[in-house]
Amino acid sequence: MPGIAAGNFVTTATRERFFPKCVDNVFDGNILFSRLRAKARPWTGGHRIVLSTTVTDRSNAQSFSGFDTLPTAQEDTRQRFTIDPSEYVINVTFSGIQLAVNKGQEAFLNLVAEEFSDAARALSEKLGEDMYTDGTGNTNKNLAGLVYHVDDATDVVTYQGLSRNTYTNLRATRNAQSGALTFTNLATDLDAAQRGSDGATLILTTPAVFSIIERLVTPTVNVNYGQVLPAGGVTGQDVGSGIRLHYGVNSLYYRGVPILADEKCTAANIFTLNENHLNLYELDYTSEVAEASKEGFGWSGWKRSTNQNAIVGHLLWAGQLVGESPRTMARRTAVTS
């Protein structure tokens, strides 16, 4: 930000210190976003991604004997997905008077740190919320979230450019809960998402539904006391001996699949996901518009306002959540008890 009293030192510190930390904080604030980060794929160019996908099953596989006529007809089982990127932005802005009263490099760096922390939190909240939407928000500019990917054409008919009514293999399993949740319901969703050895890897739900599942699990827990310990003190006294009981869990698995609670998850929903078929694509901004880039995020650098006594910088993100096989996933709605 030439001409600003903080000078190149603050510009460099912003790019090398605050921006990378801000990116990490955005990821850390989102359960699904963070899990997908480890296997995120680069958006290698072009205004959209075009992926080939199998939309119908082949029928030419058959047994034969001796001189039987072999099948020769070509089966057209593939179509192309077309995916557009979504972009997100949040600004970091300072007025001239704010800069004036925060004199000195260190004072201004503290102000920058606070603003970047708030910006990361706000952007994390927005991206986390949109990870569970259908992508139609803000005139179809929002991220294509789980409601978009895990659907059976009830809410989302056109999926990545193809109709779920035409190609039924693009439908996920969707079940509306009737009555109280049971282990059988969880098993039904996992079974529906299973394709041979290709099964679900993650179950996401709300904290409220996580507590419902915890209550299902609790009566099945058996504790075996293998030894007699010295008697403890009176109730409420921590004497360091005797038998202690820890109640409640913060980690649950069903059939080996982790169940995680995310407060941003759609209310009363359980998403059974196969992360092998759900990928985060990241599009890095070029140096023409960003001073720094990291995992789809870009920092625009500080810019002087043309009609205000202020400077502004923009934290950007570009990419998309892309699915490859919705039928390997399931969604359960209306889970309230």
**pLDDT tens digits for range 293-331:** 999 999 999 998 889 999 999 999 999 999 999 999 999
Strand partners of residue 81: 51
Higher pLDDT, 100 or 41: 41
Q: What does the domain layout of the chain look like in residue ranges?
A: 7-53+79-220+247-333
The whole-number pLDDT of residue 3 equals: 40
What are the pLDDT digits (tens) for 128-177?
Answer: 999 999 999 999 999 999 999 999 999 999 999 999 999 999 999 999 99
Distance CA(170)–CA(172), nearest Å, equals 7
Here the tokens at position 233 are: 């003190």
Burial label for 8, CB within 10 Å (0-12, 13-18, 19+), is: exposed
Decide if pLDDT at 82 tops 60: yes
The whole-number pLDDT of residue 238 equals: 55
Decide if pLDDT at 9 tops 80: no
The whole-number pLDDT of residue 300 equals: 94
Return the CATH fold of 7-53+79-220+247-333: phage-related protein like fold (3.90.1690)
Q: 84, 48 in Cβ contact below 8 A? A: yes
> Phi-psi category of 68—alpha, beta or left, where left has phi over 0 and alpha has psi -120 to 50?
beta
The whole-number pLDDT of residue 231 equals: 56
Q: Provide φ and ψ at 109, rounded to 5°.
A: -60, -40
Pairing type for strands 162-163 and 173-176 reads unpaired
Here the tokens at position 78 are: 């593939």
Here the tokens at position 328 are: 């390997």
Burial label for 173, CB within 10 Å (0-12, 13-18, 19+), is: buried
**Residue 290 pLDDT level (bands cut at 50, 70, 90):** very high
Higher pLDDT, 105 or 310: 310
Strand partners of residue 173: 330
Decide if pLDDT at 75 tops 60: yes
- Model confidence, pTM: 0.86
What are the pLDDT digits (tens) for 41-63?
Answer: 998 767 788 888 777 788 888 88
Beta-carbon contacts of 116 under 8 Å, excluding residues fewer than 6 positions away, are 14, 18, 19, 21, 22, 92, 315
**Residue 1 pLDDT level (bands cut at 50, 70, 90):** very low
3-state secondary structure the chain: CCCCCCHHHHHHHHHHHHHHHHHHHHHHCCHHHHHHHCCCEECCCCCCEEEEEECCCCCCCCCCCCCCCCCCCCCCCEEEEEECCEEEEEEEEEEHHHHHHCCCHHHHHHHHHHHHHHHHHHHHHHHHHHCCCCCCHHHHCCCCCHHHHCCCCCCCCEECCEECCCCHHHCCEEEECCCCCCHHHHHHHHHHHCECCECCCEEEECHHHHHHHHHHHHHHCCCCCCCCCCCCCCCCCCCCCCCCCCCCCCCEEECCEEEEECCCCCCCCEEEECHHHEEEEECCCCCCCCCEEECCEEECCCEECCCCCEEEEEEEEEEEEEECCHHHCEEEECCCC
Distance CA(55)–CA(76), nearest Å, equals 9
